[in-house]
Structure 1
Amino acid sequence: MRLLTIIALIWLLAACSTTPTQPTLYERLGEQEGITTIVDNLLYEIGGNDTLLPFFAATNISRFREKLIEQLCQVSDGPCDYTGDSMAQVHAGMDLNDSHFNALVTDLVAAMDEAGVATGAQNDLLARLVPMYDEVMNPDDYINAEPTDTDANRVTR
């Protein structure tokens, strides 16, 4: 009887020690295929958005698509490295305001909805993008600033 109790205790301890791992944000977004779908949906949304479309008139859309896929993959803990320019470099000279920023966020949410991304994953992605807000909206503050350790580690073109 004592042997059965010990075996049961070992079995219970083993079951407790193997807690299931939570899927990463990358996995919750649908991995590479899901992120690609989100970006493609976003491009479609931007194409119909009169507030944003003028900003993309001279943009190499293929490059934009490729770099945004990389960036969302990296931000969501996927196996990608973002190799594009800094957010300050990309947005310099655009004179963006909050209506532009909000329009892009609205289009991104619509793109994620269309891709079937769960609300929690959408919120987690948006939360990870929030730290880029200041660099996007105030690029001159970053371009003219002295390089930091973070800047030195950033991979650009």
Structure 2
Amino acid sequence: MTLRMGTIILLTTLALLTGCATRDTASGDALYQDLGERAGIANIVEDLLYRIVEDERIAFQFQGIDVVQFHTNLTDQICEISGGPCTYGGRPMTEVHTDMNVTETQFNALAEQLVLAMEDNGVSTSAQNRLLDRLVELHPQITHR
């Protein structure tokens, strides 16, 4: 296990154990800025999509999706979560992931690919960790129940 993967798993575990139910809206705009605003987030998501199709651990989960719609929805979702002016208009996470049986390994693989996409786009480690802290709130809605 790489140090980066260990960090992702540790952050995920800590956030789940502490409830991570509140969002620090005071630093929301700063995170949005640190991610490069909507254009930067869209670039991160585009790079993530390329990484997904190359990752045999998760690629099959995304077969047959509308890539353009997925890109738009994920960009909007990350934009909103990071404190930006966007509104996520996609389906609820529990509905989207019903019957997908997403495992912990797949969840962590996607998080790993997101970190790599953020690194490729020059996002600081601090901003990466703040975003992951917010995204981990979605964990129970995404993973196999």
Question: With structure 1 as the length reference, what TM-score do the two structures score?
Answer: 0.73
Task: Specify which of 22, 29, 34 is matched with residue 28 of structure 1.
Answer: 34
Question: With structure 2 as the length reference, what TM-score do the two structures score?
Answer: 0.78
Which runs of 5 or more structure 2 residues have no equivalent in the other structure?
Answer: 1-25
Q: CA deviation at 1:138?
A: 4.2
Q: Which structure's CA Rg is the greater one?
A: 1
| Deviations, residues 56-106 of structure 1 (Å, cap 9, x unaligned) | 111111110000000000000000000000111111111111110111001
1:86 has 2:74 as partner: no
1:14 is matched with which residue?
none
Which runs of 5 or more structure 1 residues have no equivalent in the other structure?
Answer: 1-20, 140-157
Relative contact order (alpha carbons < 8 A, sep ≥ 6): 1 or 2 greater? 2
2:140 is matched with which residue?
134
Cα separation, 2, equivalents of 1:138 and 1:44: 24
Task: Specify which of 79, 83, 104 is matched with residue 110 of structure 2.
Answer: 104
Corresponding pairs, count: 119
List structure 1 runs of 4+ shifted beyond 3 angstroms: none
